[in-house]
Amino acid sequence: MTLPLTGVRVLDLSRVLAGPLVGQMLGDLGAEVIKIERPEVGDDSRNYGPPFLKDDHGVKTGESGFYLSANRNKQSVTVDLSTLQGQDIVRRLALQSDVVIENFRVGALAKFGLGYARLAALNPRLVYLSITGYGQTGEMAHRPGYDAIFQAIGGHMAVTGAPDELSGGGPMRSGLSLVDILTSLYASIAVLAALNHRDRHPAKQGQYIDLALLDSMVAALSHRGMQYLISGKASPRRGNVGAGGSPSGAFRCADGLIVLTVGNDSQWLRFCSAIERPDLAADQRLATAVKRIENREVLSPTLEAMFLERDRAHWLAILERADIPCGPVNELDEVFADPQVRQRGMTVPVSHPLSAALTLIANPIHYSATPLDRYRPPPTLGEHTESVLSGLLGMNESEISALRAARVI
């Protein structure tokens, strides 16, 4: 059975996270993805450890967990882009590709003759994705940046964390590389839409995609950003307290935290019945969702004291029977042991060239007709150099050997 993007070829010149995640997503969907890496060094993220994958004998390899998270379903080809021969190899590969992904600083690839203008002149059908920190325009376009910088500049830290007046309060970054991940999702959508436009348009013309991490973060502010735009006021940080109802947030039980959200008045009545507190249901200060939000200081201390009396399993069982949205605050070992996570197949075992037992996080997309069941392990550095150069570019053994001797590959 073919996958949705079978027949699409992607040339992935990117490294670290945002760009590689795009290539991985397209590869999961069935595209052939050729990852270009620096000879001997490879993608910077190969060294982003510990931890590193251990081989079948328990010996640490050079494959970091960071790299393994973003590079499955790809072929690795080593090419030195600073050499004329290396640049020629990439241009020849681009001539046979549908998509190019790159996340170099503005103008860097153009100096090597690998910018959009040059490659599109060779292959007008090419969809060329450039991911940068600040975009291709604006006064900050040439500045470098990493995920945490854009969480700060783009407002995510301003809306994340506990209120200033609480101990430990203040803006806080996400524990995930959230901006890179969000940008990769916007980028994947953009590439798919551009391919659709190309293939439906009579001219069959590709196009250039300019995507910035900062722009992606600002766009992801979503309702919090919109609330500011219509009110002129920044909504306060609430820590683990939800904004969509009350009670809503994290509550400490005798053995750990749970999160719950009572999102409407009918849920509130069921909640009060489940915890056997008819007095709360009768309290007019708490009779509606708006009043419960306005009177959090009345409700929260009561619930905090109550939840501490019993363990998580007790309260979760009660709340689930009452159909109240709730769940435990899981550590990562609990996440991957969770029955629902396991039943949804969110991990997948693969055989890596260096380790027969590698577990990857699965793609969450479930198609009915074209299930995403191809999980090729992230490649070792340069694993497919010879097969790609011979198979796609028609190079013979002596040509490849000469390139290797010259350290072009």
Longest dimension (CA), the chain: 86
60 lies in a domain? yes
Degrees (nearest 5) of the Cα angle 217, 220, 221? 95
Tens of pLDDT, residue by residue over 370-388, are 999 999 999 999 999 999 9
Task: Give the Cα separation of 376 and 284 in Å (integer).
Answer: 59
Confidence of residue 99 (pLDDT cuts 50, 70, 90): very high
Q: Give me the pLDDT at residue 39, please.
A: 97
Q: If you average pLDDT over residues 36-43, what whole number do you get?
A: 97
Q: Give me the pLDDT at residue 248, please.
A: 92
Q: If you average pLDDT over residues 358-375, what whole number do you get?
A: 96
Q: Are 336 and 325 in contact (CB under 8 A)?
A: no
2 lies in a domain? no
In sequence order, what E strands does 30-162 have?
A: 32-37, 52-54, 60-64, 75-78, 99-102, 127-132
Residues 146 and 102 in one domain: yes
Q: Give me the pLDDT at residue 43, please.
A: 97
Which residue among 330, 360, 384 closes a domain? Answer: 330
Tens of pLDDT, residue by residue over 161-188, are 999 988 889 999 999 999 999 999 999 9
> Is the model's pLDDT at 242 over the cut of 80?
no
Tell me which residues are annotated as active site: 180
Residues 36 and 163 in one domain: yes
Task: Give the Cα separation of 68 and 377 in Å (integer).
Answer: 8
The whole domain housing 299 covers 248-330
> Is the model's pLDDT at 404 over the cut of 90?
yes
Task: Give the Cα separation of 14 and 34 in Å (integer).
Answer: 11
Tell me which amino acid residue 91 is. Answer: R
- Tokens coding 208: 């250039």
111 lies in a domain? yes
Which residue among 308, 330, 352 closes a domain? Answer: 330
C-alpha distance from residue 372 to each of 10, 35, 111, 241, 352 (Å): 18, 20, 38, 36, 19
Task: Give the Cα separation of 185 and 51 in Å (integer).
Answer: 26
Residues 264 and 357 in one domain: no
Proportion of the chain in helix, strand, coil states, percent, rounded to 5: 40, 15, 45
Task: Give the Cα separation of 112 and 38 in Å (integer).
Answer: 14
Residues of the chain above pLDDT 70, percent: 99
> Is the model's pLDDT at 296 over the cut of 90?
no
Q: For strands 326-328 and 256-261, give the pairing.
A: antiparallel
pTM of the model: 0.94
Q: Give me the pLDDT at residue 245, please.
A: 79
- Tokens coding 62: 């050079």
Residues 133 and 273 in one domain: no
Residues of the chain above pLDDT 90, percent: 93
Residues 324 and 186 in one domain: no
> Is the model's pLDDT at 148 over the cut of 80?
yes
Residues 44 and 167 in one domain: yes
Return the number of other C-beta atoms located less than 10 Å from residue 323's C-beta: 12
Is 266 exposed, middle or buried (CB count within 10 Å of its CB: 0-12, 13-18, 19+)? exposed
Task: Give the Cα separation of 265 and 276 in Å (integer).
Answer: 16
> Is the model's pLDDT at 31 over the cut of 80?
yes
Residues 152 and 284 in one domain: no
Tens of pLDDT, residue by residue over 59-92, are 999 999 999 999 999 999 999 999 999 999 999 9
> Is the model's pLDDT at 365 over the cut of 80?
yes
Q: What is the CATH number of the domain that holds 116?
A: 3.40.50.10540
Confidence of residue 357 (pLDDT cuts 50, 70, 90): confident
Structural domain total, the chain: 2
Confidence of residue 38 (pLDDT cuts 50, 70, 90): very high
Residues 70 and 94 in one domain: yes
Is 351 exposed, middle or buried (CB count within 10 Å of its CB: 0-12, 13-18, 19+)? exposed
Bridge partners of residue 37, in order along the sequence: 78
Q: Give me the pLDDT at residue 144, please.
A: 93
259 lies in a domain? yes
Task: Give the Cα separation of 77 and 58 in Å (integer).
Answer: 27
Confidence of residue 314 (pLDDT cuts 50, 70, 90): very high
Residues 212 and 275 in one domain: no
Tens of pLDDT, residue by residue over 269-278, are 999 999 999 9
- DSSP state for residue 39 in the 8-state scheme: T
Residues 93 and 142 in one domain: yes
What does pLDDT average to over the chain? 96
Helices 18-28 & 178-200 angle (0-180, nearest 10):
50
335 lies in a domain? no
Q: Give me the pLDDT at residue 166, please.
A: 85
C-alpha distance from residue 96 to each of 120, 165, 195, 373 (Å): 12, 59, 15, 26
Which residue among 276, 300, 330 closes a domain? Answer: 330
- Tokens coding 223: 């309702």
Confidence of residue 239 (pLDDT cuts 50, 70, 90): confident
Tell me which amino acid residue 363 is. Answer: N
Q: Which element (helix H / strand E) includes 130? A: strand 127-132
Go through the chain and tell me how many residues it has.
409
